[in-house]
Chains A and B, each alone.
Chain A
Amino acid sequence: MGRYFIRRLWQTIPTLAGVILLVFILFNLFGGDPAAILAGKIVSPERIATIREQLGLNEPLWVQLWIFVKQVMTFDFGDSWSTGESVADIISQKAPVSLTIMVQVWLLDAIVSISLAVAVAYRRGSLTDRAVMGICTAAMSISLLLYVVIGQYVLGYTLDLFPVLGWSDSLWTNLTTYAPLPVFLLLLVSIAPSLRLYRTFIVEETTHDYVRTARAKGASENRVMFVHVLRNALIPIMTNMAMQLPGLFVGSFVIESVFSIPGLGKEIVAAVLRSDFPVIKAITIYLAILTMLVNLLVDLLYSWLDPRVQLK
Protein backbone atom coordinates (compact mmCIF):
# COMPACT_ATOMS: atom_id res chain seq x y z
CA MET A 1 0.00 0.00 0.00
CA GLY A 2 2.68 2.47 1.05
CA ARG A 3 4.91 1.48 -1.83
CA TYR A 4 1.98 1.70 -4.23
CA PHE A 5 1.18 5.17 -2.97
CA ILE A 6 4.73 6.38 -3.42
CA ARG A 7 4.97 4.90 -6.91
CA ARG A 8 1.70 6.53 -7.98
CA LEU A 9 2.82 9.84 -6.52
CA TRP A 10 6.03 9.47 -8.54
CA GLN A 11 4.00 8.84 -11.69
CA THR A 12 2.10 12.11 -11.32
CA ILE A 13 5.30 14.10 -11.73
CA PRO A 14 5.48 13.82 -15.56
CA THR A 15 1.83 14.85 -15.77
CA LEU A 16 2.41 17.82 -13.50
CA ALA A 17 5.44 18.77 -15.59
CA GLY A 18 3.21 18.55 -18.66
CA VAL A 19 0.60 20.85 -17.13
CA ILE A 20 3.30 23.36 -16.19
CA LEU A 21 4.65 23.21 -19.73
CA LEU A 22 1.18 23.60 -21.26
CA VAL A 23 0.35 26.61 -19.11
CA PHE A 24 3.78 28.09 -19.79
CA ILE A 25 3.43 27.66 -23.55
CA LEU A 26 -0.09 29.09 -23.50
CA PHE A 27 0.63 32.18 -21.47
CA ASN A 28 4.27 32.95 -22.23
CA LEU A 29 4.42 32.07 -25.92
CA PHE A 30 0.87 32.77 -27.12
CA GLY A 31 -0.19 35.16 -24.38
CA GLY A 32 1.77 38.05 -25.78
CA ASP A 33 3.85 40.64 -24.01
CA PRO A 34 2.29 41.72 -20.71
CA ALA A 35 3.51 45.22 -21.46
CA ALA A 36 1.07 45.33 -24.38
CA ILE A 37 -1.75 43.76 -22.38
CA LEU A 38 -1.25 46.01 -19.41
CA ALA A 39 -0.64 49.20 -21.36
CA GLY A 40 -4.19 50.35 -20.81
CA LYS A 41 -4.40 49.34 -17.18
CA ILE A 42 -1.14 50.21 -15.53
CA VAL A 43 0.15 53.62 -16.38
CA SER A 44 3.51 53.67 -14.69
CA PRO A 45 6.26 52.21 -16.87
CA GLU A 46 8.20 51.23 -13.73
CA ARG A 47 5.42 48.83 -12.71
CA ILE A 48 5.45 47.18 -16.15
CA ALA A 49 9.23 46.96 -16.03
CA THR A 50 8.98 45.22 -12.64
CA ILE A 51 6.46 42.73 -14.01
CA ARG A 52 8.66 42.05 -17.03
CA GLU A 53 11.54 41.49 -14.67
CA GLN A 54 9.51 39.17 -12.43
CA LEU A 55 8.53 37.07 -15.43
CA GLY A 56 12.07 37.20 -16.74
CA LEU A 57 10.87 38.43 -20.11
CA ASN A 58 14.23 39.92 -20.90
CA GLU A 59 15.88 36.54 -20.35
CA PRO A 60 15.89 33.49 -22.64
CA LEU A 61 12.85 31.18 -22.61
CA TRP A 62 14.37 28.50 -20.42
CA VAL A 63 15.01 31.05 -17.67
CA GLN A 64 11.36 32.12 -17.92
CA LEU A 65 10.30 28.49 -17.63
CA TRP A 66 12.51 28.02 -14.59
CA ILE A 67 11.00 31.13 -12.96
CA PHE A 68 7.54 29.66 -13.56
CA VAL A 69 8.56 26.25 -12.16
CA LYS A 70 9.89 27.98 -9.05
CA GLN A 71 6.57 29.81 -8.71
CA VAL A 72 4.71 26.50 -8.84
CA MET A 73 7.05 24.83 -6.34
CA THR A 74 6.75 27.66 -3.81
CA PHE A 75 3.04 28.25 -4.48
CA ASP A 76 3.87 31.90 -4.96
CA PHE A 77 2.44 33.25 -8.20
CA GLY A 78 3.07 36.88 -7.42
CA ASP A 79 0.45 39.62 -7.55
CA SER A 80 -2.65 40.04 -9.64
CA TRP A 81 -2.07 42.38 -12.56
CA SER A 82 -5.39 44.10 -11.99
CA THR A 83 -5.78 44.55 -8.26
CA GLY A 84 -2.22 44.10 -7.05
CA GLU A 85 -3.37 41.61 -4.42
CA SER A 86 -1.29 38.51 -4.02
CA VAL A 87 -2.73 35.58 -5.94
CA ALA A 88 -2.54 33.30 -2.90
CA ASP A 89 -4.69 35.77 -0.94
CA ILE A 90 -7.27 35.95 -3.72
CA ILE A 91 -7.57 32.18 -3.86
CA SER A 92 -7.76 31.72 -0.11
CA GLN A 93 -10.51 34.35 0.09
CA LYS A 94 -12.59 33.17 -2.84
CA ALA A 95 -12.38 29.39 -2.60
CA PRO A 96 -14.33 29.12 0.72
CA VAL A 97 -17.16 31.14 -0.84
CA SER A 98 -17.45 28.67 -3.72
CA LEU A 99 -17.26 25.80 -1.26
CA THR A 100 -20.15 27.22 0.80
CA ILE A 101 -22.39 26.65 -2.21
CA MET A 102 -20.78 23.62 -3.78
CA VAL A 103 -20.41 21.37 -0.73
CA GLN A 104 -24.15 21.64 -0.12
CA VAL A 105 -24.85 20.84 -3.77
CA TRP A 106 -22.45 17.91 -3.67
CA LEU A 107 -24.01 16.35 -0.57
CA LEU A 108 -27.65 17.00 -1.45
CA ASP A 109 -27.12 15.78 -5.00
CA ALA A 110 -25.68 12.52 -3.66
CA ILE A 111 -28.48 12.00 -1.11
CA VAL A 112 -31.31 12.76 -3.53
CA SER A 113 -29.98 10.96 -6.57
CA ILE A 114 -28.84 7.83 -4.72
CA SER A 115 -32.20 7.39 -2.98
CA LEU A 116 -34.14 8.07 -6.20
CA ALA A 117 -31.81 5.76 -8.12
CA VAL A 118 -32.45 2.90 -5.67
CA ALA A 119 -36.21 3.44 -5.92
CA VAL A 120 -36.20 3.65 -9.72
CA ALA A 121 -33.78 0.77 -10.22
CA TYR A 122 -35.92 -1.44 -8.00
CA ARG A 123 -38.88 -0.89 -10.30
CA ARG A 124 -36.89 -0.88 -13.49
CA GLY A 125 -38.88 -1.16 -16.70
CA SER A 126 -42.02 0.09 -14.95
CA LEU A 127 -43.90 3.20 -15.96
CA THR A 128 -42.37 5.15 -13.04
CA ASP A 129 -38.89 4.16 -14.16
CA ARG A 130 -39.46 5.17 -17.75
CA ALA A 131 -41.18 8.41 -16.72
CA VAL A 132 -38.33 9.40 -14.40
CA MET A 133 -35.72 8.52 -17.03
CA GLY A 134 -37.64 10.51 -19.65
CA ILE A 135 -37.77 13.54 -17.36
CA CYS A 136 -34.03 13.17 -16.71
CA THR A 137 -33.23 13.09 -20.43
CA ALA A 138 -35.34 16.18 -21.05
CA ALA A 139 -33.88 17.98 -18.02
CA MET A 140 -30.34 17.24 -19.20
CA SER A 141 -31.02 18.70 -22.62
CA ILE A 142 -31.98 22.12 -21.32
CA SER A 143 -29.09 24.48 -20.87
CA LEU A 144 -27.98 25.36 -17.34
CA LEU A 145 -28.37 29.00 -18.35
CA LEU A 146 -32.10 28.71 -18.81
CA TYR A 147 -32.57 27.17 -15.36
CA VAL A 148 -30.55 29.94 -13.81
CA VAL A 149 -32.08 32.87 -15.68
CA ILE A 150 -35.66 31.66 -15.37
CA GLY A 151 -35.18 30.40 -11.80
CA GLN A 152 -33.74 33.69 -10.64
CA TYR A 153 -36.55 35.64 -12.28
CA VAL A 154 -39.45 33.46 -11.17
CA LEU A 155 -38.36 32.33 -7.69
CA GLY A 156 -36.32 35.39 -6.76
CA TYR A 157 -38.01 38.30 -8.50
CA THR A 158 -41.64 37.45 -9.27
CA LEU A 159 -42.48 35.16 -6.35
CA ASP A 160 -39.97 36.85 -4.04
CA LEU A 161 -39.23 33.59 -2.19
CA PHE A 162 -35.49 34.22 -2.15
CA PRO A 163 -33.29 37.31 -2.49
CA VAL A 164 -32.55 37.92 -6.18
CA LEU A 165 -28.81 38.06 -5.56
CA GLY A 166 -26.25 39.00 -3.00
CA TRP A 167 -23.70 37.74 -0.54
CA SER A 168 -22.66 38.76 2.96
CA ASP A 169 -19.69 38.30 5.25
CA SER A 170 -21.48 36.11 7.73
CA LEU A 171 -21.50 32.42 6.96
CA TRP A 172 -24.85 31.94 8.69
CA THR A 173 -26.60 34.66 6.64
CA ASN A 174 -25.13 33.20 3.50
CA LEU A 175 -26.29 29.70 4.31
CA THR A 176 -29.80 30.74 5.30
CA THR A 177 -30.47 33.67 2.96
CA TYR A 178 -28.30 33.80 -0.12
CA ALA A 179 -27.21 30.21 -0.76
CA PRO A 180 -30.57 28.36 -0.97
CA LEU A 181 -31.65 29.57 -4.42
CA PRO A 182 -28.29 28.95 -6.18
CA VAL A 183 -28.05 25.56 -4.47
CA PHE A 184 -31.58 24.65 -5.54
CA LEU A 185 -30.95 25.66 -9.16
CA LEU A 186 -27.66 23.77 -9.31
CA LEU A 187 -29.39 20.70 -7.91
CA LEU A 188 -32.03 20.89 -10.66
CA VAL A 189 -29.20 20.65 -13.17
CA SER A 190 -26.98 18.11 -11.44
CA ILE A 191 -29.50 15.54 -10.23
CA ALA A 192 -30.62 14.33 -13.67
CA PRO A 193 -27.22 13.11 -14.93
CA SER A 194 -26.24 11.68 -11.51
CA LEU A 195 -29.54 9.84 -11.23
CA ARG A 196 -29.17 8.31 -14.68
CA LEU A 197 -25.61 7.22 -13.97
CA TYR A 198 -26.32 5.82 -10.48
CA ARG A 199 -29.37 3.95 -11.78
CA THR A 200 -27.23 2.07 -14.30
CA PHE A 201 -24.73 1.20 -11.53
CA ILE A 202 -27.48 -0.17 -9.30
CA VAL A 203 -29.33 -1.98 -12.08
CA GLU A 204 -26.07 -3.68 -13.02
CA GLU A 205 -25.62 -4.92 -9.45
CA THR A 206 -29.17 -6.29 -9.21
CA THR A 207 -28.45 -8.72 -12.04
CA HIS A 208 -25.70 -10.50 -10.11
CA ASP A 209 -26.14 -13.96 -8.62
CA TYR A 210 -25.61 -12.86 -5.04
CA VAL A 211 -28.87 -10.92 -5.19
CA ARG A 212 -30.77 -14.07 -6.09
CA THR A 213 -28.96 -15.93 -3.31
CA ALA A 214 -29.91 -13.26 -0.79
CA ARG A 215 -33.55 -13.43 -1.86
CA ALA A 216 -33.46 -17.26 -1.74
CA LYS A 217 -32.17 -17.10 1.81
CA GLY A 218 -35.26 -15.07 2.66
CA ALA A 219 -33.68 -11.65 3.10
CA SER A 220 -36.23 -8.85 3.07
CA GLU A 221 -36.40 -6.62 -0.01
CA ASN A 222 -35.08 -3.69 2.02
CA ARG A 223 -32.12 -5.73 3.16
CA VAL A 224 -31.44 -6.91 -0.39
CA MET A 225 -31.53 -3.41 -1.85
CA PHE A 226 -29.82 -1.41 0.89
CA VAL A 227 -27.38 -3.89 2.38
CA HIS A 228 -26.46 -6.15 -0.50
CA VAL A 229 -26.99 -4.15 -3.69
CA LEU A 230 -26.32 -0.60 -2.54
CA ARG A 231 -23.08 -1.49 -0.77
CA ASN A 232 -21.67 -2.89 -3.98
CA ALA A 233 -23.04 -0.11 -6.13
CA LEU A 234 -21.52 2.46 -3.78
CA ILE A 235 -18.05 1.75 -5.16
CA PRO A 236 -18.62 3.36 -8.59
CA ILE A 237 -20.91 5.95 -7.00
CA MET A 238 -18.21 7.04 -4.53
CA THR A 239 -15.70 7.17 -7.39
CA ASN A 240 -17.97 9.48 -9.32
CA MET A 241 -18.50 11.68 -6.26
CA ALA A 242 -14.76 11.87 -5.59
CA MET A 243 -14.15 12.92 -9.20
CA GLN A 244 -16.43 15.92 -8.59
CA LEU A 245 -14.29 17.15 -5.67
CA PRO A 246 -11.83 19.41 -7.58
CA GLY A 247 -14.75 21.16 -9.28
CA LEU A 248 -16.22 22.11 -5.91
CA PHE A 249 -13.40 24.58 -5.34
CA VAL A 250 -14.01 26.57 -8.52
CA GLY A 251 -17.76 26.57 -8.11
CA SER A 252 -20.12 27.24 -10.96
CA PHE A 253 -19.11 30.04 -13.31
CA VAL A 254 -22.65 30.78 -14.43
CA ILE A 255 -24.26 30.67 -10.98
CA GLU A 256 -21.60 32.87 -9.42
CA SER A 257 -21.79 35.41 -12.24
CA VAL A 258 -25.58 35.62 -12.24
CA PHE A 259 -25.99 35.72 -8.47
CA SER A 260 -22.95 37.97 -7.85
CA ILE A 261 -21.37 35.44 -5.50
CA PRO A 262 -17.74 36.47 -4.95
CA GLY A 263 -16.35 32.95 -5.42
CA LEU A 264 -13.50 31.52 -7.41
CA GLY A 265 -15.68 30.92 -10.48
CA LYS A 266 -16.58 34.59 -10.77
CA GLU A 267 -12.95 35.50 -10.11
CA ILE A 268 -11.77 33.27 -12.98
CA VAL A 269 -14.25 34.78 -15.42
CA ALA A 270 -13.23 38.27 -14.34
CA ALA A 271 -9.55 37.34 -14.62
CA VAL A 272 -10.07 36.03 -18.17
CA LEU A 273 -11.94 39.19 -19.14
CA ARG A 274 -9.18 41.39 -17.67
CA SER A 275 -6.32 39.21 -19.03
CA ASP A 276 -5.12 38.79 -15.45
CA PHE A 277 -2.72 35.97 -16.27
CA PRO A 278 -1.17 35.24 -12.84
CA VAL A 279 -4.60 34.44 -11.38
CA ILE A 280 -5.58 32.10 -14.24
CA LYS A 281 -2.20 30.39 -14.25
CA ALA A 282 -2.28 29.80 -10.50
CA ILE A 283 -5.84 28.43 -10.47
CA THR A 284 -5.17 26.14 -13.45
CA ILE A 285 -2.07 24.67 -11.80
CA TYR A 286 -3.72 24.28 -8.39
CA LEU A 287 -6.74 22.55 -9.89
CA ALA A 288 -4.54 20.19 -11.89
CA ILE A 289 -2.62 19.22 -8.75
CA LEU A 290 -5.88 18.74 -6.89
CA THR A 291 -7.28 16.57 -9.69
CA MET A 292 -4.19 14.36 -9.67
CA LEU A 293 -4.37 13.94 -5.89
CA VAL A 294 -8.06 13.07 -6.09
CA ASN A 295 -7.38 10.45 -8.78
CA LEU A 296 -4.81 8.91 -6.47
CA LEU A 297 -7.24 8.97 -3.55
CA VAL A 298 -9.91 7.30 -5.69
CA ASP A 299 -7.55 4.39 -6.32
CA LEU A 300 -6.87 4.06 -2.61
CA LEU A 301 -10.60 4.35 -1.91
CA TYR A 302 -11.21 1.42 -4.27
CA SER A 303 -8.98 -0.92 -2.32
CA TRP A 304 -10.51 0.22 0.95
CA LEU A 305 -14.11 -0.26 -0.22
CA ASP A 306 -13.54 -3.40 -2.25
CA PRO A 307 -11.02 -5.88 -0.82
CA ARG A 308 -10.99 -7.74 -4.13
CA VAL A 309 -9.11 -4.86 -5.74
CA GLN A 310 -5.38 -5.45 -5.51
CA LEU A 311 -3.10 -2.47 -5.70
CA LYS A 312 0.04 -3.33 -7.55
Chain B
Amino acid sequence: MSDVTLASGRLNYPVSPHARRGGLHAVQRRVGILMLAPAAIAFAIVILYPFFQALGLSLFEDTLQSIEPTFIGLANFKAILADPETWNSFGITVIYVGGATIGTLVLGLGWALILNQPFRGRKALRALTIMPWVVPSTVSAFIWAWIFNSRFGVINGIYLELGLIDVPKAWLSTPEGALIAVILTRIWRSIPLFMAFFLAGLQNVDQEQIDAARVDGAGNWAILRDHLLPHLRPVLIVVVVLGVIGGLQDFDTIYALTGGGPVSATSVLSISVYRKAFEQWDIGMASAMGVLWVATLLPPAYFYLRLLIKKGN
Protein backbone atom coordinates (compact mmCIF):
# COMPACT_ATOMS: atom_id res chain seq x y z
CA MET B 1 0.00 0.00 0.00
CA SER B 2 1.33 3.43 -0.92
CA ASP B 3 2.30 5.88 1.79
CA VAL B 4 -0.19 8.41 0.44
CA THR B 5 -3.08 6.04 1.10
CA LEU B 6 -4.75 5.82 4.49
CA ALA B 7 -5.97 2.61 6.00
CA SER B 8 -9.51 3.59 5.01
CA GLY B 9 -8.44 3.52 1.36
CA ARG B 10 -8.91 7.27 0.85
CA LEU B 11 -6.05 9.25 -0.67
CA ASN B 12 -3.99 11.43 1.59
CA TYR B 13 -3.14 14.11 -1.04
CA PRO B 14 -3.39 17.73 0.01
CA VAL B 15 -6.79 18.75 -1.44
CA SER B 16 -8.21 22.25 -1.75
CA PRO B 17 -11.09 22.85 0.68
CA HIS B 18 -13.07 24.21 -2.32
CA ALA B 19 -12.75 21.02 -4.31
CA ARG B 20 -15.99 19.12 -4.72
CA ARG B 21 -16.32 15.37 -4.28
CA GLY B 22 -15.93 13.44 -7.50
CA GLY B 23 -14.66 16.60 -9.19
CA LEU B 24 -12.69 14.91 -11.97
CA HIS B 25 -15.57 12.61 -12.85
CA ALA B 26 -17.97 15.55 -12.90
CA VAL B 27 -15.67 17.50 -15.21
CA GLN B 28 -15.31 14.49 -17.48
CA ARG B 29 -19.07 14.09 -17.51
CA ARG B 30 -19.59 17.74 -18.38
CA VAL B 31 -17.01 17.60 -21.18
CA GLY B 32 -18.67 14.44 -22.43
CA ILE B 33 -22.07 16.10 -22.49
CA LEU B 34 -20.59 19.15 -24.20
CA MET B 35 -18.99 17.00 -26.88
CA LEU B 36 -22.22 15.09 -27.37
CA ALA B 37 -24.39 18.20 -27.54
CA PRO B 38 -23.87 19.19 -31.22
CA ALA B 39 -24.67 15.68 -32.43
CA ALA B 40 -27.61 15.40 -30.03
CA ILE B 41 -29.02 18.76 -31.13
CA ALA B 42 -28.62 17.87 -34.81
CA PHE B 43 -30.27 14.48 -34.16
CA ALA B 44 -33.15 16.16 -32.33
CA ILE B 45 -33.74 18.68 -35.12
CA VAL B 46 -33.23 16.43 -38.13
CA ILE B 47 -34.56 13.09 -36.87
CA LEU B 48 -36.44 13.33 -33.61
CA TYR B 49 -38.58 16.41 -34.30
CA PRO B 50 -39.76 15.23 -37.76
CA PHE B 51 -40.40 11.77 -36.34
CA PHE B 52 -42.61 13.06 -33.54
CA GLN B 53 -44.32 15.40 -35.98
CA ALA B 54 -45.05 12.44 -38.28
CA LEU B 55 -46.22 10.46 -35.27
CA GLY B 56 -48.63 13.28 -34.43
CA LEU B 57 -49.80 13.65 -38.05
CA SER B 58 -50.57 9.94 -38.22
CA LEU B 59 -53.44 10.62 -35.82
CA PHE B 60 -54.97 13.30 -38.08
CA GLU B 61 -56.91 13.38 -41.29
CA ASP B 62 -54.65 15.61 -43.32
CA THR B 63 -55.35 15.61 -47.04
CA LEU B 64 -55.43 18.16 -49.81
CA GLN B 65 -59.12 18.72 -49.12
CA SER B 66 -58.69 19.45 -45.44
CA ILE B 67 -57.72 23.07 -44.78
CA GLU B 68 -57.01 22.21 -41.14
CA PRO B 69 -56.03 18.66 -40.11
CA THR B 70 -58.74 16.86 -38.12
CA PHE B 71 -57.91 14.57 -35.19
CA ILE B 72 -59.16 11.05 -35.93
CA GLY B 73 -57.20 8.95 -33.44
CA LEU B 74 -56.08 5.59 -34.78
CA ALA B 75 -58.41 5.63 -37.80
CA ASN B 76 -55.50 5.99 -40.25
CA PHE B 77 -53.84 2.88 -38.80
CA LYS B 78 -57.10 0.94 -38.99
CA ALA B 79 -57.59 1.97 -42.61
CA ILE B 80 -54.03 1.08 -43.52
CA LEU B 81 -54.14 -2.33 -41.87
CA ALA B 82 -57.45 -3.09 -43.59
CA ASP B 83 -56.04 -2.11 -46.98
CA PRO B 84 -54.77 -5.10 -49.03
CA GLU B 85 -52.29 -2.72 -50.72
CA THR B 86 -50.50 -2.32 -47.37
CA TRP B 87 -50.09 -6.06 -46.94
CA ASN B 88 -48.98 -6.34 -50.55
CA SER B 89 -46.40 -3.67 -49.81
CA PHE B 90 -45.24 -5.52 -46.69
CA GLY B 91 -44.93 -8.73 -48.71
CA ILE B 92 -42.90 -7.03 -51.44
CA THR B 93 -40.68 -5.45 -48.78
CA VAL B 94 -40.00 -8.86 -47.22
CA ILE B 95 -39.11 -10.37 -50.61
CA TYR B 96 -36.96 -7.38 -51.52
CA VAL B 97 -35.08 -7.20 -48.22
CA GLY B 98 -34.74 -10.99 -47.93
CA GLY B 99 -33.63 -11.48 -51.54
CA ALA B 100 -31.20 -8.58 -51.49
CA THR B 101 -29.67 -9.54 -48.12
CA ILE B 102 -29.23 -13.23 -48.92
CA GLY B 103 -27.94 -12.47 -52.43
CA THR B 104 -25.45 -9.92 -51.14
CA LEU B 105 -24.38 -12.24 -48.34
CA VAL B 106 -23.57 -15.12 -50.68
CA LEU B 107 -21.93 -13.04 -53.40
CA GLY B 108 -20.15 -10.71 -50.96
CA LEU B 109 -18.68 -13.68 -49.07
CA GLY B 110 -17.68 -15.42 -52.29
CA TRP B 111 -16.03 -12.29 -53.62
CA ALA B 112 -14.22 -11.72 -50.30
CA LEU B 113 -12.89 -15.30 -50.42
CA ILE B 114 -11.57 -14.68 -53.93
CA LEU B 115 -10.01 -11.34 -53.00
CA ASN B 116 -8.41 -12.94 -49.95
CA GLN B 117 -6.32 -15.20 -52.20
CA PRO B 118 -2.88 -14.03 -53.22
CA PHE B 119 -2.80 -13.17 -56.93
CA ARG B 120 -1.42 -10.47 -59.18
CA GLY B 121 -3.60 -7.34 -59.37
CA ARG B 122 -5.43 -8.18 -56.15
CA LYS B 123 -5.08 -4.64 -54.78
CA ALA B 124 -6.39 -3.06 -57.96
CA LEU B 125 -9.34 -5.46 -58.02
CA ARG B 126 -10.12 -4.70 -54.38
CA ALA B 127 -10.13 -0.99 -55.15
CA LEU B 128 -12.35 -1.49 -58.22
CA THR B 129 -14.79 -3.56 -56.18
CA ILE B 130 -15.62 -0.49 -54.12
CA MET B 131 -16.95 1.32 -57.22
CA PRO B 132 -20.63 0.29 -56.97
CA TRP B 133 -20.64 1.54 -53.39
CA VAL B 134 -19.10 4.88 -54.38
CA VAL B 135 -21.45 5.51 -57.31
CA PRO B 136 -24.58 7.47 -56.21
CA SER B 137 -27.60 5.22 -55.83
CA THR B 138 -29.67 6.96 -58.50
CA VAL B 139 -26.79 6.62 -60.97
CA SER B 140 -26.68 2.89 -60.15
CA ALA B 141 -30.42 2.74 -60.81
CA PHE B 142 -30.03 4.42 -64.20
CA ILE B 143 -27.20 2.05 -65.14
CA TRP B 144 -29.44 -0.94 -64.35
CA ALA B 145 -32.43 0.69 -66.05
CA TRP B 146 -30.30 0.85 -69.18
CA ILE B 147 -29.16 -2.76 -68.76
CA PHE B 148 -32.79 -3.93 -68.51
CA ASN B 149 -34.24 -1.43 -71.01
CA SER B 150 -36.60 -3.13 -73.43
CA ARG B 151 -35.36 -1.26 -76.50
CA PHE B 152 -31.73 -0.35 -75.94
CA GLY B 153 -30.83 -2.67 -73.04
CA VAL B 154 -27.66 -4.74 -72.80
CA ILE B 155 -29.51 -7.92 -71.81
CA ASN B 156 -31.84 -7.74 -74.81
CA GLY B 157 -28.87 -6.92 -77.03
CA ILE B 158 -27.01 -10.05 -75.91
CA TYR B 159 -30.10 -12.29 -76.10
CA LEU B 160 -31.00 -11.03 -79.58
CA GLU B 161 -27.41 -11.47 -80.75
CA LEU B 162 -27.37 -15.05 -79.44
CA GLY B 163 -30.74 -15.72 -81.02
CA LEU B 164 -32.34 -16.58 -77.69
CA ILE B 165 -35.22 -14.15 -78.35
CA ASP B 166 -36.78 -12.84 -81.55
CA VAL B 167 -38.14 -9.56 -80.22
CA PRO B 168 -36.85 -7.44 -77.32
CA LYS B 169 -38.30 -8.40 -73.95
CA ALA B 170 -39.67 -5.77 -71.57
CA TRP B 171 -37.98 -7.02 -68.38
CA LEU B 172 -39.11 -4.13 -66.22
CA SER B 173 -42.72 -4.50 -67.32
CA THR B 174 -43.36 -7.82 -65.63
CA PRO B 175 -43.81 -7.95 -61.85
CA GLU B 176 -41.16 -10.67 -61.50
CA GLY B 177 -38.70 -8.99 -63.86
CA ALA B 178 -39.02 -5.62 -62.12
CA LEU B 179 -38.61 -7.15 -58.67
CA ILE B 180 -35.55 -9.13 -59.76
CA ALA B 181 -34.10 -5.97 -61.31
CA VAL B 182 -34.43 -3.91 -58.11
CA ILE B 183 -33.03 -6.78 -56.02
CA LEU B 184 -30.06 -7.20 -58.37
CA THR B 185 -29.38 -3.47 -58.26
CA ARG B 186 -29.43 -3.52 -54.46
CA ILE B 187 -27.12 -6.56 -54.39
CA TRP B 188 -24.72 -4.87 -56.81
CA ARG B 189 -24.61 -1.75 -54.65
CA SER B 190 -24.19 -3.63 -51.36
CA ILE B 191 -21.56 -6.22 -52.33
CA PRO B 192 -18.60 -3.87 -51.69
CA LEU B 193 -19.69 -3.15 -48.12
CA PHE B 194 -20.36 -6.80 -47.28
CA MET B 195 -17.16 -7.82 -49.00
CA ALA B 196 -15.14 -5.30 -46.95
CA PHE B 197 -16.58 -6.70 -43.70
CA PHE B 198 -15.87 -10.30 -44.72
CA LEU B 199 -12.41 -9.48 -46.01
CA ALA B 200 -11.52 -7.84 -42.69
CA GLY B 201 -12.82 -10.93 -40.89
CA LEU B 202 -10.92 -13.32 -43.16
CA GLN B 203 -7.66 -11.49 -42.60
CA ASN B 204 -7.89 -12.29 -38.91
CA VAL B 205 -8.21 -16.03 -39.53
CA ASP B 206 -5.29 -18.04 -38.14
CA GLN B 207 -3.59 -19.32 -41.31
CA GLU B 208 -1.82 -22.09 -39.36
CA GLN B 209 -5.19 -23.51 -38.37
CA ILE B 210 -6.25 -23.62 -42.04
CA ASP B 211 -2.95 -25.20 -43.06
CA ALA B 212 -3.34 -27.81 -40.33
CA ALA B 213 -6.85 -28.61 -41.57
CA ARG B 214 -5.52 -29.03 -45.10
CA VAL B 215 -2.81 -31.39 -43.84
CA ASP B 216 -5.59 -33.37 -42.20
CA GLY B 217 -7.21 -33.69 -45.61
CA ALA B 218 -9.93 -31.04 -45.35
CA GLY B 219 -11.22 -29.76 -48.71
CA ASN B 220 -12.27 -26.18 -49.56
CA TRP B 221 -15.89 -26.70 -48.60
CA ALA B 222 -14.92 -28.31 -45.26
CA ILE B 223 -12.58 -25.43 -44.48
CA LEU B 224 -15.28 -22.90 -45.28
CA ARG B 225 -17.94 -24.75 -43.26
CA ASP B 226 -15.86 -25.83 -40.25
CA HIS B 227 -13.28 -23.07 -39.92
CA LEU B 228 -14.06 -19.87 -41.84
CA LEU B 229 -17.80 -19.55 -41.25
CA PRO B 230 -17.59 -20.14 -37.48
CA HIS B 231 -14.81 -17.56 -37.37
CA LEU B 232 -16.90 -15.09 -39.41
CA ARG B 233 -20.05 -15.62 -37.32
CA PRO B 234 -19.93 -12.22 -35.55
CA VAL B 235 -19.30 -10.46 -38.89
CA LEU B 236 -22.14 -12.44 -40.49
CA ILE B 237 -24.59 -11.27 -37.84
CA VAL B 238 -23.56 -7.65 -38.21
CA VAL B 239 -23.76 -7.62 -42.02
CA VAL B 240 -27.13 -9.38 -42.03
CA VAL B 241 -28.56 -6.83 -39.58
CA LEU B 242 -27.03 -3.93 -41.52
CA GLY B 243 -28.28 -5.42 -44.78
CA VAL B 244 -31.82 -5.71 -43.43
CA ILE B 245 -31.79 -2.15 -42.10
CA GLY B 246 -30.37 -0.81 -45.37
CA GLY B 247 -32.90 -2.76 -47.42
CA LEU B 248 -35.81 -1.51 -45.33
CA GLN B 249 -34.62 2.07 -45.75
CA ASP B 250 -34.06 1.85 -49.50
CA PHE B 251 -36.08 4.26 -51.62
CA ASP B 252 -34.02 6.09 -54.23
CA THR B 253 -32.81 3.09 -56.23
CA ILE B 254 -36.28 1.58 -56.53
CA TYR B 255 -37.95 4.91 -57.27
CA ALA B 256 -35.42 5.75 -59.99
CA LEU B 257 -35.51 2.27 -61.52
CA THR B 258 -39.19 1.33 -61.51
CA GLY B 259 -41.07 4.02 -59.59
CA GLY B 260 -42.66 1.20 -57.61
CA GLY B 261 -44.22 -0.36 -60.72
CA PRO B 262 -45.30 -1.96 -62.91
CA VAL B 263 -48.67 -1.43 -61.19
CA SER B 264 -47.32 -1.88 -57.64
CA ALA B 265 -44.94 -4.82 -58.16
CA THR B 266 -41.95 -3.06 -56.58
CA SER B 267 -43.86 -0.82 -54.22
CA VAL B 268 -41.95 -1.46 -50.98
CA LEU B 269 -42.97 0.41 -47.82
CA SER B 270 -40.83 3.47 -48.56
CA ILE B 271 -42.37 3.83 -52.03
CA SER B 272 -45.89 3.38 -50.64
CA VAL B 273 -45.27 6.15 -48.10
CA TYR B 274 -44.02 8.45 -50.88
CA ARG B 275 -47.01 7.64 -53.10
CA LYS B 276 -49.49 8.28 -50.30
CA ALA B 277 -47.82 11.58 -49.42
CA PHE B 278 -46.82 13.07 -52.75
CA GLU B 279 -49.03 11.43 -55.35
CA GLN B 280 -52.24 11.00 -53.39
CA TRP B 281 -51.61 13.95 -51.02
CA ASP B 282 -52.81 12.04 -47.97
CA ILE B 283 -50.28 13.19 -45.39
CA GLY B 284 -52.11 11.58 -42.44
CA MET B 285 -52.14 8.14 -44.03
CA ALA B 286 -48.57 8.55 -45.28
CA SER B 287 -47.46 9.43 -41.74
CA ALA B 288 -49.26 6.39 -40.31
CA MET B 289 -47.61 4.18 -42.90
CA GLY B 290 -44.28 5.82 -42.09
CA VAL B 291 -44.76 4.97 -38.42
CA LEU B 292 -45.38 1.32 -39.35
CA TRP B 293 -42.31 1.44 -41.54
CA VAL B 294 -40.22 2.72 -38.63
CA ALA B 295 -41.73 -0.06 -36.48
CA THR B 296 -40.38 -2.65 -38.92
CA LEU B 297 -36.95 -1.00 -38.70
CA LEU B 298 -36.84 -1.02 -34.91
CA PRO B 299 -36.22 -4.75 -34.22
CA PRO B 300 -33.14 -5.06 -36.47
CA ALA B 301 -31.87 -1.67 -35.30
CA TYR B 302 -32.30 -2.70 -31.64
CA PHE B 303 -30.57 -6.02 -32.32
CA TYR B 304 -27.68 -4.24 -34.02
CA LEU B 305 -27.26 -1.70 -31.20
CA ARG B 306 -27.31 -4.52 -28.64
CA LEU B 307 -24.56 -6.27 -30.55
CA LEU B 308 -22.49 -3.11 -30.65
CA ILE B 309 -22.95 -2.39 -26.94
CA LYS B 310 -22.13 -5.99 -26.02
CA LYS B 311 -19.02 -5.82 -28.18
CA GLY B 312 -18.09 -2.48 -26.59
CA ASN B 313 -18.39 -3.94 -23.10
Bound pair (A, B): no
